[in-house]
Amino acid sequence: MFSWDDPGDRVAIAQLNSELRNAHLELLSAHCATHQLRLRYSMDDLARFGQRDVLRKSVQAASALSEYYASLEKTIVNQEPSAPLAASGQLSPELLAEAAHCVAAYLREERERYYPSSEPLSEHHKTRLRPYFTSELLDRIRVVELMGVRVAPPSFYERARALGITNLPQLAHMDSLTFLDVIVFNETLQMRALFHGLVHAVQFAILGVERYTELFVRAFAHTSLHVTVPLEAHAFNLESRFARRPPETFWVADEVLSWYEGGRYER
Protein backbone atom coordinates (compact mmCIF):
# COMPACT_ATOMS: atom_id res chain seq x y z
CA MET A 1 0.00 0.00 0.00
CA PHE A 2 1.38 3.44 -0.95
CA SER A 3 1.71 6.33 1.51
CA TRP A 4 1.77 10.09 0.80
CA ASP A 5 4.41 10.46 3.52
CA ASP A 6 6.96 8.45 1.58
CA PRO A 7 8.59 10.54 -1.23
CA GLY A 8 9.29 7.35 -3.22
CA ASP A 9 5.63 6.44 -3.03
CA ARG A 10 4.61 9.90 -4.23
CA VAL A 11 6.55 9.30 -7.45
CA ALA A 12 4.93 5.87 -7.75
CA ILE A 13 1.48 7.46 -7.21
CA ALA A 14 2.19 10.01 -9.97
CA GLN A 15 3.20 7.09 -12.21
CA LEU A 16 0.02 5.20 -11.23
CA ASN A 17 -2.10 8.20 -12.23
CA SER A 18 -0.27 8.65 -15.50
CA GLU A 19 -0.92 4.96 -16.36
CA LEU A 20 -4.52 5.28 -15.19
CA ARG A 21 -5.00 8.27 -17.52
CA ASN A 22 -3.49 6.31 -20.43
CA ALA A 23 -5.80 3.38 -19.75
CA HIS A 24 -8.72 5.78 -19.58
CA LEU A 25 -7.84 7.31 -22.97
CA GLU A 26 -7.57 3.89 -24.55
CA LEU A 27 -10.92 2.91 -23.01
CA LEU A 28 -12.55 6.04 -24.46
CA SER A 29 -11.10 5.13 -27.81
CA ALA A 30 -12.42 1.53 -27.57
CA HIS A 31 -15.78 2.90 -26.47
CA CYS A 32 -15.88 5.18 -29.50
CA ALA A 33 -14.93 2.39 -31.94
CA THR A 34 -17.64 0.12 -30.48
CA HIS A 35 -20.17 2.94 -30.68
CA GLN A 36 -19.40 3.25 -34.42
CA LEU A 37 -19.97 -0.49 -34.88
CA ARG A 38 -23.26 -0.24 -33.01
CA LEU A 39 -24.43 2.66 -35.20
CA ARG A 40 -23.42 1.07 -38.49
CA TYR A 41 -24.26 -2.62 -38.16
CA SER A 42 -26.99 -4.69 -36.56
CA MET A 43 -26.19 -7.30 -33.89
CA ASP A 44 -27.39 -10.02 -36.27
CA ASP A 45 -25.09 -8.92 -39.10
CA LEU A 46 -22.11 -8.70 -36.75
CA ALA A 47 -22.83 -12.13 -35.30
CA ARG A 48 -23.38 -13.69 -38.75
CA PHE A 49 -20.70 -12.06 -40.86
CA GLY A 50 -18.08 -10.96 -38.30
CA GLN A 51 -14.89 -13.03 -38.22
CA ARG A 52 -15.52 -15.63 -35.47
CA ASP A 53 -12.17 -15.43 -33.66
CA VAL A 54 -12.16 -11.61 -33.67
CA LEU A 55 -15.71 -11.55 -32.31
CA ARG A 56 -14.84 -14.03 -29.53
CA LYS A 57 -11.65 -12.20 -28.55
CA SER A 58 -13.52 -8.86 -28.48
CA VAL A 59 -16.24 -10.31 -26.24
CA GLN A 60 -13.63 -11.86 -23.92
CA ALA A 61 -11.65 -8.61 -23.68
CA ALA A 62 -14.79 -6.58 -22.93
CA SER A 63 -16.02 -9.07 -20.28
CA ALA A 64 -12.62 -9.13 -18.55
CA LEU A 65 -12.54 -5.32 -18.49
CA SER A 66 -16.08 -5.11 -17.20
CA GLU A 67 -15.30 -7.57 -14.36
CA TYR A 68 -12.12 -5.71 -13.41
CA TYR A 69 -13.73 -2.27 -13.31
CA ALA A 70 -16.79 -3.59 -11.46
CA SER A 71 -14.53 -4.84 -8.64
CA LEU A 72 -12.62 -1.58 -8.70
CA GLU A 73 -15.90 0.29 -8.32
CA LYS A 74 -16.71 -1.76 -5.21
CA THR A 75 -13.34 -0.79 -3.74
CA ILE A 76 -13.70 2.94 -4.25
CA VAL A 77 -14.59 4.52 -0.93
CA ASN A 78 -15.62 8.08 -0.05
CA GLN A 79 -16.21 8.86 -3.71
CA GLU A 80 -19.87 9.70 -4.01
CA PRO A 81 -20.50 10.48 -7.68
CA SER A 82 -22.29 13.78 -8.01
CA ALA A 83 -25.71 13.71 -9.60
CA PRO A 84 -25.89 15.23 -13.06
CA LEU A 85 -26.58 18.91 -12.51
CA ALA A 86 -29.34 19.24 -15.09
CA ALA A 87 -31.15 16.21 -13.65
CA SER A 88 -30.96 17.65 -10.15
CA GLY A 89 -32.65 20.80 -11.49
CA GLN A 90 -29.92 23.08 -10.18
CA LEU A 91 -29.19 24.83 -13.42
CA SER A 92 -31.88 26.88 -15.13
CA PRO A 93 -31.46 27.87 -18.81
CA GLU A 94 -30.58 31.39 -17.58
CA LEU A 95 -27.85 30.03 -15.32
CA LEU A 96 -26.49 27.86 -18.15
CA ALA A 97 -26.37 30.91 -20.44
CA GLU A 98 -24.58 32.88 -17.71
CA ALA A 99 -22.09 30.04 -17.20
CA ALA A 100 -21.37 29.87 -20.96
CA HIS A 101 -20.85 33.62 -20.98
CA CYS A 102 -18.39 33.36 -18.04
CA VAL A 103 -16.42 30.57 -19.73
CA ALA A 104 -16.21 32.51 -23.02
CA ALA A 105 -15.01 35.64 -21.18
CA TYR A 106 -12.47 33.55 -19.26
CA LEU A 107 -11.09 31.99 -22.46
CA ARG A 108 -10.65 35.44 -24.04
CA GLU A 109 -9.00 36.87 -20.89
CA GLU A 110 -6.56 33.97 -20.60
CA ARG A 111 -5.74 34.24 -24.30
CA GLU A 112 -4.79 37.90 -23.74
CA ARG A 113 -2.84 37.01 -20.58
CA TYR A 114 -0.67 34.35 -22.23
CA TYR A 115 -0.31 35.78 -25.76
CA PRO A 116 2.55 38.19 -24.94
CA SER A 117 4.74 35.35 -23.59
CA SER A 118 3.76 32.86 -26.30
CA GLU A 119 5.85 31.58 -29.20
CA PRO A 120 5.02 30.21 -32.62
CA LEU A 121 5.24 26.46 -33.25
CA SER A 122 8.68 25.21 -34.25
CA GLU A 123 9.29 24.02 -37.83
CA HIS A 124 9.81 20.50 -36.43
CA HIS A 125 6.32 20.47 -34.88
CA LYS A 126 4.71 22.04 -37.94
CA THR A 127 6.21 19.39 -40.24
CA ARG A 128 4.99 16.56 -38.00
CA LEU A 129 1.47 18.05 -37.82
CA ARG A 130 0.95 19.07 -41.46
CA PRO A 131 -0.87 15.83 -42.41
CA TYR A 132 -3.57 16.75 -39.85
CA PHE A 133 -3.93 20.55 -39.74
CA THR A 134 -3.89 23.42 -42.24
CA SER A 135 -0.71 25.49 -42.56
CA GLU A 136 -2.87 28.53 -41.84
CA LEU A 137 -3.73 27.10 -38.38
CA LEU A 138 -0.20 25.87 -37.62
CA ASP A 139 1.22 29.32 -38.51
CA ARG A 140 -1.36 31.12 -36.37
CA ILE A 141 -1.12 28.96 -33.21
CA ARG A 142 1.05 30.13 -30.31
CA VAL A 143 2.35 28.01 -27.42
CA VAL A 144 3.45 28.69 -23.83
CA GLU A 145 5.29 26.27 -21.50
CA LEU A 146 4.63 27.07 -17.82
CA MET A 147 7.27 24.59 -16.56
CA GLY A 148 5.19 23.63 -13.53
CA VAL A 149 3.79 27.08 -12.63
CA ARG A 150 0.31 25.88 -13.72
CA VAL A 151 -2.81 27.71 -14.83
CA ALA A 152 -4.85 29.13 -11.91
CA PRO A 153 -8.50 28.08 -11.53
CA PRO A 154 -10.99 30.60 -12.99
CA SER A 155 -12.51 33.09 -10.54
CA PHE A 156 -16.05 31.90 -11.37
CA TYR A 157 -15.25 28.44 -9.95
CA GLU A 158 -16.01 29.76 -6.47
CA ARG A 159 -19.52 30.81 -7.45
CA ALA A 160 -20.00 27.50 -9.28
CA ARG A 161 -19.02 25.56 -6.15
CA ALA A 162 -21.39 27.70 -4.06
CA LEU A 163 -24.16 26.56 -6.43
CA GLY A 164 -23.23 22.95 -5.64
CA ILE A 165 -21.46 22.29 -8.94
CA THR A 166 -18.71 19.77 -8.28
CA ASN A 167 -16.25 17.91 -10.53
CA LEU A 168 -15.19 21.15 -12.22
CA PRO A 169 -12.34 20.50 -14.67
CA GLN A 170 -9.03 20.62 -12.77
CA LEU A 171 -7.10 22.95 -15.04
CA ALA A 172 -3.85 22.65 -13.06
CA HIS A 173 -3.78 18.89 -13.76
CA MET A 174 -4.29 19.09 -17.51
CA ASP A 175 -1.39 18.60 -19.89
CA SER A 176 -2.52 21.39 -22.19
CA LEU A 177 -5.18 24.11 -22.21
CA THR A 178 -6.35 25.86 -25.35
CA PHE A 179 -7.29 29.52 -25.03
CA LEU A 180 -8.60 30.03 -28.58
CA ASP A 181 -5.33 30.18 -30.57
CA VAL A 182 -2.91 30.01 -27.61
CA ILE A 183 -2.08 26.56 -26.19
CA VAL A 184 -0.68 26.61 -22.66
CA PHE A 185 1.22 23.62 -21.21
CA ASN A 186 1.26 23.32 -17.42
CA GLU A 187 4.64 21.62 -17.76
CA THR A 188 6.50 21.33 -21.07
CA LEU A 189 5.21 20.88 -24.59
CA GLN A 190 4.49 17.21 -25.35
CA MET A 191 3.46 16.13 -28.85
CA ARG A 192 0.32 14.28 -27.81
CA ALA A 193 -0.90 17.15 -25.58
CA LEU A 194 -0.09 19.59 -28.40
CA PHE A 195 -2.22 17.53 -30.78
CA HIS A 196 -5.07 17.54 -28.24
CA GLY A 197 -4.80 21.31 -27.82
CA LEU A 198 -4.81 21.82 -31.59
CA VAL A 199 -8.04 19.82 -31.93
CA HIS A 200 -9.66 22.33 -29.55
CA ALA A 201 -8.18 25.20 -31.60
CA VAL A 202 -9.88 23.72 -34.71
CA GLN A 203 -13.14 23.38 -32.75
CA PHE A 204 -12.90 27.06 -31.76
CA ALA A 205 -12.17 28.06 -35.38
CA ILE A 206 -15.12 26.09 -36.78
CA LEU A 207 -17.73 26.62 -34.05
CA GLY A 208 -16.71 30.05 -32.76
CA VAL A 209 -16.08 30.65 -29.07
CA GLU A 210 -19.74 31.36 -28.18
CA ARG A 211 -21.10 28.15 -29.72
CA TYR A 212 -18.20 26.12 -28.30
CA THR A 213 -18.79 27.31 -24.73
CA GLU A 214 -22.55 26.92 -25.04
CA LEU A 215 -22.16 23.28 -26.14
CA PHE A 216 -19.45 22.64 -23.55
CA VAL A 217 -21.43 24.04 -20.61
CA ARG A 218 -24.65 22.30 -21.61
CA ALA A 219 -22.92 18.93 -21.96
CA PHE A 220 -21.02 19.39 -18.71
CA ALA A 221 -24.27 20.17 -16.87
CA HIS A 222 -25.63 16.94 -18.30
CA THR A 223 -22.71 14.64 -17.51
CA SER A 224 -20.87 16.37 -14.61
CA LEU A 225 -17.65 14.93 -15.98
CA HIS A 226 -15.48 16.95 -18.30
CA VAL A 227 -13.93 13.98 -20.18
CA THR A 228 -17.40 12.84 -21.27
CA VAL A 229 -18.30 16.23 -22.75
CA PRO A 230 -18.38 15.35 -26.50
CA LEU A 231 -16.07 18.25 -27.47
CA GLU A 232 -13.52 16.82 -25.04
CA ALA A 233 -14.12 13.13 -25.81
CA HIS A 234 -13.57 13.90 -29.50
CA ALA A 235 -10.21 15.58 -28.76
CA PHE A 236 -9.15 12.53 -26.68
CA ASN A 237 -10.28 10.18 -29.44
CA LEU A 238 -8.37 12.01 -32.22
CA GLU A 239 -5.30 12.39 -29.99
CA SER A 240 -5.30 8.64 -29.38
CA ARG A 241 -5.66 7.89 -33.13
CA PHE A 242 -2.68 10.18 -33.77
CA ALA A 243 -0.63 8.40 -31.07
CA ARG A 244 -1.19 4.92 -32.57
CA ARG A 245 1.77 3.10 -34.04
CA PRO A 246 1.77 3.47 -36.98
CA PRO A 247 -0.22 6.71 -36.59
CA GLU A 248 -3.45 7.12 -38.51
CA THR A 249 -3.67 10.05 -40.92
CA PHE A 250 -6.84 12.15 -41.01
CA TRP A 251 -7.81 15.78 -41.52
CA VAL A 252 -8.90 17.20 -38.15
CA ALA A 253 -11.06 20.00 -39.65
CA ASP A 254 -13.12 17.36 -41.56
CA GLU A 255 -13.55 15.29 -38.39
CA VAL A 256 -14.69 18.32 -36.37
CA LEU A 257 -17.04 19.50 -39.11
CA SER A 258 -18.58 16.06 -39.45
CA TRP A 259 -19.17 15.75 -35.68
CA TYR A 260 -20.58 19.29 -35.52
CA GLU A 261 -22.89 18.91 -38.52
CA GLY A 262 -23.99 15.48 -37.31
CA GLY A 263 -25.04 17.03 -33.97
CA ARG A 264 -22.52 14.89 -32.10
CA TYR A 265 -21.24 17.75 -29.95
CA GLU A 266 -24.71 18.11 -28.47
CA ARG A 267 -26.01 16.15 -25.55
Residue nearest to Zn ion (CB): 235
**One-character DSSP codes across 119-171:** EEPPHHHHHHHTTTS-HHHHHH-EEEE-TT--PPPPTHHHHHHHTT------G
Minimum CB separation from Zn ion for residue 233, in Å? 9
Minimum CB separation from Zn ion for residue 129, in Å? 17
Nearer to Zn ion, 125 or 226 (CB): 226
Minimum CB separation from Zn ion for residue 11, in Å? 26
Distance CA(40)–CA(34), nearest Å, equals 10
Minimum CB separation from Zn ion for residue 174, in Å? 7
Footprint on this chain of Zn ion (rule: CB under 5 A):
232, 235
Nearer to Zn ion, 86 or 235 (CB): 235
Minimum CB separation from Zn ion for residue 176, in Å? 7
Nearer to Zn ion, 87 or 172 (CB): 172
Region for residue 193 given its phi and psi (left: phi exceeds 0; alpha: psi -120 to 50; beta: otherwise): alpha
Nearer to Zn ion, 17 or 88 (CB): 17
Nearer to Zn ion, 110 or 232 (CB): 232
